[in-house]
Structure formats: C-alpha cells, structure tokens
Structure 1
C-alpha cells in the first residue's frame, strides 16, 4: 500500500477551487504536451540544455519504455477531468486540510494553481523545482530566481508570485503559440489537465498538482527506481488509467537526459 497522507499540517484556510470563470483575471493559453515545445520553454527559462522532455508512448510495454532516456527525473501525465476523476479527487481530499507549508525544510516545493489553463506550465514548474531536475536549473536564470523567491512564501504567496512573474508569462506565451495545433483561447474551457510525478532524494514518489489541496506522497521507491519504474507507474499514472472505463485521452511526457 502507498502512503497517501499530506506531508505537513495546515492552518485553517478557505478550500482551494480553481478560477474557471470566463472573465478570470489571470489566464494562459493551454500548453500542448509537445516535447520540443516544452523543452524549448524550459531552456528559455533556464534549464540546462542537457535536459529535455520526451514522449512516453507506453506505460506498460518495456520495449517502448526503453526509448525514454533514463533516469527519468519527472513524469507529466495529461488526463481528462472526468466525472470518475472528480469523484476520486473530492473523496480523497475530503479528509485533508489545505496545505500551508513553506520554507527550506519542505520536502517538495508545491504551487497552487490560480491561473486559468496554466496546468501545463505548473507541471513543468513542479518537475524542475523538485527532485534531480532542480540541479539543472542555471544559477541566476529566470526560473532559478522564481524558485528561490517562492521558497519562503506560503501557497497563497506563491500563487501571487506566479500571477505576476512577467518572465514566466512571456516564455509560456511564446511556447503556447508555437504548438502543432491551433492554439485555443486562454478563456476556453479545457477538460484536459496535467499532473506531475517526481522522486525526491529520500525515495518518495510525489504527486504534484496545483488543483489539489497540497502535495501527495504516493509511497517510497527503491534506490534504483525512477519515475518510470514499475512501482512509480503503478502508484502514479496507471492508477489514473484504472479509474477510467471509456475516456482514454491520456498522454505522458518525461523529463530526462537530452539525446543531443
């Protein structure tokens, strides 16, 4: 069994619900799950060129998983916000208090999502702010500056930081407009969502989603396991797939060593 307990006690706070109003004050153009596009966005923000985003074409076939460069530092799952998922989310979060952690002692750096349709860039932020990928964020770069400013803020402060970070907004807009498909409007209703899985140094597999009440520990992985290991896939993306019986609009990308 995996441990699904929040990582820290929370102070009393209003429950978080994303701002889905058409006139939401902050909105991004949805980001395609496109590895070259995402890689370019990360490099622009300050991630080293030795790191890249890669397609994951199968979660169950070893021959297909072998094409992904390892170790995989983070896994981003794109999934439909279905009735089954919403029931699961509400039920699982019902017994949790809203996370209010901050400071350098946190096991992970977690961001609340308050920007409409920003779940793609939120996934990339969680992927690079935590686990081994943090070591590949260049000193003094826009992403390094953002993450360092975020550390001592509570989740509300971090959300405001993201809402006002001009470098993040500009880099995201440039990437979102270059997708392979016609970019939707920032105010459109999008029923696909990103969640990030990372493995921290102590072996914990974390589910990081700004739409939840906080970071979620999904269990302890072995010393040789990365986010594409059998246990990580079972506790992470395969659990999402198991809840769905009809809607199979799922895709995955992984952050790992560049092939260049």
Structure 2
C-alpha cells in the first residue's frame, strides 16, 4: 500500500501548456517547452518533432487497488535506492506528496538535463537542485516537501488548466512517469517516485541519440502494449521550435 502522505497537491492536468508554465516558473529557460507527442509510428509526424527530445512524460491509467497491487509486484524484487551526490547516474525523487506525480515526472525530466543554457542561475529549480543533490532519498523527499517556491509554482500551474480543479486529496485515475537519458552513461531510465528508485530500462542510446529515437520510441510502445487499458498520453521536453 502507498505510504501515508503528509501533504497533497492539486493534481496536474495532462497538458503540455500547464507543464511548460510550471518549468518556466521554476526557472527553466524559455527556450524549452513541453509538447504533445502525436505519434510513435508516423514518419511525417516524427520528423516534425523538435530535437533533441530531452525527456518524455507518459501519463497512463492507474486506478485504485489494481494499480497498487501492480506497483507492489513490480517493487517486490527491486532494491531500495540509496544514491546521492554528483555520482548518481540520474537524479531521482521519492514521491511523498499526494497527487503530485505530475510534478515528480516534471522534476525528473528537468533535473536530468545538463544545466548549462537550460536552468536560470539562482532560480527556484537551481536552488532546489543545489539543496537536494547531496542528500539521500529520504532527506531529499523532505527537502522537496519543504520548498515553498516549488509548492507555489505548482499551485499556480495546477489552477491554470482548462478542466475543473479537483480537491488535492481526491483520488485520481492517472499516473505520470518520465523517461530520461543519463548524461553519465547514455542509458535510458524510467523515473517514477512511486518505485523504489530509478529503473534502468536496458536501453542504451548511441552517442548523440535522444530518447525519441528508434530505441526510445520502441521502449514506450512496449510499455503501452503491456497494459490492458487505453488513455495513454505522451509529452516531450524539447527546444522551442521557432528558436
């Protein structure tokens, strides 16, 4: 069963405009944005994607006890992650804030991109990364919970969607996770704060290949095909095309 939550946030709408507002509020350069991925198969639509794709966020149905049982089964054989510091292959956040899986997927996306020309110095995300990077997962989780800057940016983003705003403690029926490339070893990791740590997918990208290349798209397609539901959506963190 999921651990009790000390805090709950408004669930984020699966909307790239909402995601983009949040990362810009946190201090990511306006030269980057989230966009919808329209196809994993159509060559013309794939060719239209701005590159490089820095991260992918998958939203998928995750309803009640069925999802909790599946999560417990997946985590049963995984070791609890204890990594910290500059030597980590990826920056991972344990989810301890209720209904904030969208925030965690976004943080996983923007925390695993080299900061040069991407993160504004002395911004909320720059300060958060400076604080959490040396910390072990439990202390990192507490530091994120304590960040008033992140909470305020998330509150504004949560209220900026086109659908009605749910109560922060309402049950939600979708979950988010991120796929990122480690800048340490070019391996693709599945980052989900509900897991015991980063999950290495077994995919290693060629030098210069991004997560929306053939191997990355195949990984996402395989995950979608394993599930018995519809209702998946995929967003990508990319450079703004007009720049």
Give TM-score, length-normalised by structure 2.
0.92
Compute the displacement of 1:116 (Å).
0.3
Do structure 1's residue 43 and structure 2's residue 28 form an aligned pair?
no
Unpaired runs of 5+ residues, structure 1, are 1-15
Compute the displacement of 1:185 (Å).
0.9
Compute the displacement of 1:224 (Å).
3.6
Answer whether contact 2:177 2:191 (CA < 8 A) is retained: yes
Partner-residue secondary structure (3-state), 2:60:
strand
Partner-residue secondary structure (3-state), 1:131:
coil
* Distance verdict in 2 for CA 1:89–1:39, change over 3 Å: same
C-alpha root-mean-square deviation of aligned residues, in Å?
A: 1.9
Find the counterpart in structure 1 of residue 90 from structure 2. 108
Distance 1:85 1:103 in 2: 32
Distance 1:183 1:229 in 2: 35
Distance 2:96 2:17 in 1: 26
Compute the displacement of 1:86 (Å).
5.2
Distance 1:38 1:256 in 2: 12
- Show CA shifts across 1:153-200 (max 9, x none): 111011111111000000000011010111111011012000000112
Answer whether contact 2:84 2:137 (CA < 8 A) is retained: yes
Distance 2:143 2:159 in 1: 23
Partner-residue secondary structure (3-state), 1:195:
strand
Find the counterpart in structure 2 of residue 159 from structure 1. 141
Compute the displacement of 1:38 (Å).
1.2
Give TM-score, length-normalised by structure 1.
0.86
Unpaired runs of 5+ residues, structure 2, are none
State the aligned residue count.
Answer: 239
Find the counterpart in structure 1 of residue 186 from structure 2. 203
Distance 1:102 1:50 in 2: 29
Residue from 7, 32, 47 that aligns with 1:66: 47
Do structure 1's residue 174 and structure 2's residue 119 form an aligned pair?
no
Answer whether contact 1:79 1:192 (CA < 8 A) is retained: yes
Distance 2:231 2:105 in 1: 18
Distance 1:145 1:79 in 2: 31
Do structure 1's residue 75 and structure 2's residue 56 form an aligned pair?
yes
Distance 2:33 2:140 in 1: 25
